[in-house]
Amino acid sequence: MPPEDLKSSLAKFEADLWQAADNLRANSKLDSTAYFMPVLGIIFLRHAANRYDAATKQIEADQASGRMPKRKVQPADYIRRRALWLPETARFDYIMARATVDPAGLPKLVTDAMTAIERDFEPLTNVLPKDYGIFEPKVLEELMRLFNSDRIKKATGDVFGRIYEYFLAKFSIQKAHDNGEFFTPSSLVQLIVNVIEPDHGTVFDPACGSGGMFVQSSHFIEHEGGDTNKKVVFYGQEKNGTTIRITKMNLAVHGLEGKIAEAITYYQDEHTLVGKCNFVMANPPFNVDLVDAERIKNDPRLPFGLPGVNKDKRVSNGNYLWISYFWSYLTNKGRAGFVMSSQASSAGNDEKTVRQKLIETGDVDVMISIKGGFFYTRTVPCELWHFDRNKPADRKDHVLMLDARSIGQLMKGSRKVHEFTAEQTRNLTAIVWLYRGRRDRFLALMQDYFKRQVAECAAVPEKIASFDTALAALDAPFTALVKTVKTLPDLDVEGTRALTETLAELRDGRKACDADSKALLADIAPFGKKSGKNMPATNDQQHAFRKYFDPIAERAKGLTRQVELLYKFASRAVSIAADLAADEAVTQTYDRRATSKLIKQLDEQRRAAVEQLKHAVYFHRQIVWLQDRFPKAEMLAVPGLVKVVARKEIEAADWSLTPGRYVGVAPAEVDEDFNFEQTITDIHAELAGLNSEATELAAKIQQNLEELGL
């Protein structure tokens, strides 16, 4: 967890990229529908180049070490490393080098690159955009150069996923596509993947959008040591032809293939997969009410019947069509995970009847409530549903209800879009493991947290030492300044007193900080030696290890505050000194410019030290979060968070599958890292989502009343 990386400044970077892309539109006099695909094509080309370069280095290393024969490299070698082999004319560096010689030829170079890729990779035939000739070369060059920066060259697949998501959302807002529902936030997809574990057989997404479910499934398989193309076959359906092109581009750039059909899933089952899927994953459109009931009334994918038909013979709400379809596509051992409107879990009338029948199968496995704001274009809360048609007998009549609405954070640089951190996702997954009796996985996760905690602690001494060195560098200019000030009795009295007081506070603060720093480093040293390479494996050992670190964590938090305070004192002293240096006598011994550089260096070291101290306790916080809720590393009800609910209790609650109805309210907790400003921002974002949902519900109620003739 480096203090600064590309992700930490991604929000600004996305905005810069979008501004450049929008400049392309403005200067080409085209609307968003015309430049939508060409811009995504540039993103595709850059991402493909990054993965190609990374795979090339892997191949060279494998050949040098003997893990791979020293023979001519084949395109299949790149596919095995989740990359797309690129002919020379399709490589980003080649294009930019040629464009330097002939700038006017850039549009043709990009078009030729896309043609070359399609020629050598059959799944992309007629998929990539090739209409770059409609743009002015200079404007296209600006966009290409932005994507050729050192920062973007170092971007990982996750970062490009965010960039894809950002651009898709922005285009959807500009009406390039409908509702922006073709890209599911990666943290939600990751959680679904973690719950259903799609590691073999047929994986189907009947509303596949841009293919994010397939990409995350591949990451899961690779993390488990498998080869995606040997383990699974991806199938998808999508109604929008342009979106299918995006899907195929997304798959290809990750070295994946899939059978994607253009179809309206409400009416079509193009792959004839009923009862054949090992895994089904989807983020379908919510609350659709225009589905023709007559066309689907005998559909074999609706074993629980239609969820309600209005006077116009339209399905009143399409949510339970999707839910029924997902269940029907599964084999008798299959699993499904999907995003669904929060309204669906407690909907009444015919929808409740379908839900009851579904619950009575015993296949509803895990329900997870998600707070609003996880989507760029949708602020309302949602829920993640999970089916398992092979649940063991002891869980057949039970459902795991997990209320995660208190979990998640704003994306950096965003005021309304939320996400789960990687550790929040892992912690939620760990709860599912306990529910399934996988205590070994829970303990292994804790073991990994301890290992990472030790590694972060080991980096603390160096960061603290660097901060101390940067702070000590200010001693000389401050000392010289004080000596000069003492010889100038007519100097600004208030300023002189403020300087004296501030330097006294700095001196006293340094003494306290030095003492606490030495104590912390003394504790960390044996902590690392004690743990060594043998991380605690049993639950008792892990609790003992955690208790040993509890006081260390408190000291680290205290030292963080002291480091911040010292910087404030030093910064204030420099500011006061700058005012005093307006006097010519002071400037003879006090160099404002040099001291300004020193305070900037101190700020850099302060940031690094504070970040490292936070990292040192970050994994401890994850350990505490899990151990406090599940002290025996066993499943139990946690108020406000989780409960395993029996079917009888669900029946008594009107067959509701809303987790909040069962888990109760969590006791108040004191958050030592409480951030008032961010909390207010979160509240405003949530309020906006609730207002949006209220408007949607009011419109729906009005429509229903009109249909009833009221």
pLDDT at 240 over 70: yes
- For the ranges 295-309, 487-501, 581-595, the one whose mean pLDDT is highest: 295-309
Whether 700 contacts 439, CB under 8 Å: no
In 3D, which of 437, 436, 405, 317 has the Cα closest to residue 659? Answer: 405
- Single out the residue of 190, 241, 196 nearest to residue 213, CA to CA: 190
CATH architecture under which domain 182-361+384-400 falls: 3-Layer(aba) Sandwich (3.40)
Instruction: Say if residues 280 and 333 touch (Cβ distance below 8 Å).
Output: no
58 in Cβ contact with 82 (< 8 Å): no
Non-local CB neighbours of 478 within 8 Å, separated by 6+ positions: 503, 573, 577
- Please tell me the distance from the alpha carbon of residue 519 to that of residue 140, in angstroms, as a whole number: 58
Structure tokens at 526: 């044996």
Distance of CA 188 to the CA centre of its chain: 8
Predicted confidence (pLDDT) at residue 414 exceeds the cutoff of 70:
no
Antiparallel, parallel or unpaired: β 330-341 and 382-388: antiparallel
| H or E segment to which residue 646 belongs | strand 642-646
d(CA 484, CA 494): 16
Using CA of residue 206, residue 210, residue 216, residue 221, what is the dihedral sign? positive
Is residue 39 within a helix (H) or strand (E), and if so which, with residue range? helix 32-65
What SS3 string covers 257-288? CEEEEECCCCCCCCCCCCCCEEEEEECCCCCC
Asked if the model's pLDDT at residue 221 lies above 50, the reply is yes
**Residue 24 and residue 135 in contact, taking contact as beta carbons nearer than 8 Å:** yes
Instruction: Give the pLDDT confidence score for residue 416 in this predicted structure.
Output: 77
CB-based contact 456:615 (threshold 8 Å): yes
Of 267, 343, 350, 265, nearest in space to 306 by CA: 350
| CA distance linking residue 553 with residue 454, whole number of Å | 12
Rounded Cα gap, residues 284 and 629, in angstroms: 33
Q: What would the mean pLDDT of 690-703 be, rounded to a whole number?
A: 65
Section 537-560 average pLDDT:
94
Average pLDDT over residues 393-410: 95
Q: How far apart are CA 480 and CA 69, in angstroms?
A: 67
Note the pLDDT tens digit of each residue in 665-696: 877 665 555 555 445 544 554 555 456 556 65
* Mean pLDDT within 274-302: 94
The C-alpha atoms of residue 364 and residue 391 are separated, in whole angstroms, by 9
> Tell me, what's the pLDDT at 31?
65
In this predicted structure, which of 236-240, 511-515, 679-683 has the lowest mean pLDDT? 679-683
**Rounded distance between C-alpha atoms, residue 708 and residue 490, angstroms:** 88
State the number of CA atoms in the 13 A half-sphere of 282 facing the CB.
28
Cα 6 from Cα 13, distance rounded (Å): 9
Please give the pLDDT value at position 417: 78
DSSP letter string over 291-340?
-BHHHHTT-TT-TT--S-B-TTSBBS-THHHHHHHHHHHEEEEEEEEEEE
Enumerate residues 6+ apart whose C-beta is below 8 A from 423.
449, 618, 619, 622
pLDDT in tens, 623-679: 999 999 999 999 999 999 999 999 999 999 999 999 999 999 877 665 555 555 445
Give the pLDDT confidence score for residue 30 in this predicted structure.
Answer: 64
User: Tokens representing 39?
Assistant: 């811009």
Strand-pairing partners, residue 418, are: 410
498-518 average pLDDT score: 93
Least confident of 91-105, 133-147, 457-471, 676-690: 676-690
The answer, yes or no, to whether residue 420 has pLDDT greater than 60, is: yes
Mean pLDDT over 353-377 rounds to 93
Between strands 364-370 and 409-410, the pairing is unpaired
Give me the pLDDT at residue 59, please.
Answer: 94
Average pLDDT of the residues of the chain: 87
Q: Is the pLDDT of residue 549 over 60?
A: yes
Q: What integer pLDDT is reported at residue 1 of this predicted model?
A: 37
Phi, then psi, of 171 in degrees rounded to 5: -65, -40
User: If pLDDT is split at 50, 70 and 90, which confidence band does 491 have?
Assistant: confident
* pLDDT above 50 (res 246): yes
For range 578-590, the mean pLDDT? 86
Segment 151-180 shows an average pLDDT of 63
Most confident option among 378-382, 683-687, 703-707: 378-382
Q: What is the pLDDT of residue 544?
A: 94
In this prediction, residue 3 carries a pLDDT of 32
Please work out, in degrees rounded to the nearest 5, the angle formed at the alpha carbon of residue 545 by the alpha carbons of 542 and 551. 140
- Taking the C-alpha atoms of residue 302 and residue 274, their distance in angstroms, rounded to an integer, is 11
- Give the mean model confidence (pLDDT) for residues 536-540: 95
* pLDDT confidence tier of residue 4, bands split at 50, 70 and 90: very low
Q: Is the dihedral of CA 591, 594, 599, 605 positive or negative?
A: negative
**CB 129, CB 38: distance < 8 Å:** yes
Where residue 180 falls among pLDDT bands split at 50, 70, 90? very low
Q: Average pLDDT, stretch 52-76?
A: 91
Residue with tokens 């109604």: 239
Distances in Å between the Cα of 464 and the Cα atoms of 83, 238, 334, 511, 608 are 41, 54, 52, 14, 9
Question: What pLDDT sits at residue 175?
Answer: 45
Triad 491, 497, 503: Cα angle to 5°: 115
- Which residue's entry shows tokens 């899990």? 626
Residue 589: the pLDDT is 84
CATH architecture of the domain 6-172 equals: Up-down Bundle (1.20)
Token pair 């080098």: residue: 97
For residue 242, pLDDT over 70 is answered with: yes
Instruction: Pull the structure tokens for residue 41.
Output: 């094509």
Answer yes or no: are the C-beta atoms of 391 and 365 closer than 8 Å: yes
Amino acid at 214: F
Cβ contacts of 99 within 8 Å, gap of 6 or more: 105, 106, 109, 141, 144
Distance CA(201)–CA(228), nearest Å, equals: 10
For residue 627, which of 420, 449, 408, 401 has the smallest C-alpha distance? 449
Q: Which of 148, 55, 54 is nearest to 98 (CA)?
A: 148
Tokens of 254: 């990750």
Q: What is the mean pLDDT of residues 244-269?
A: 91
Q: What tens digit of pLDDT does each residue of 312-347 get?
A: 999 999 999 999 999 999 999 999 999 999 999 999
- The C-alpha atoms of residue 614 and residue 409 are separated, in whole angstroms, by 17
Amino acid at 687: L
Supply the pLDDT for residue 146.
80
CA-to-CA distance for 448 and 429, rounded, in angstroms? 14
Which of 12-21, 86-95, 247-256 comes out lowest in average pLDDT?
Answer: 12-21
Sorted by sequence, the CB contacts under 8 Å of residue 513 that are 6+ apart come out as 559, 562, 563, 566
At 160, is the secondary structure helix, strand, or coil?
Answer: helix
Alpha carbon of 283 to those of 188, 383, 404, 541: distances in Å?
Answer: 10, 11, 18, 41
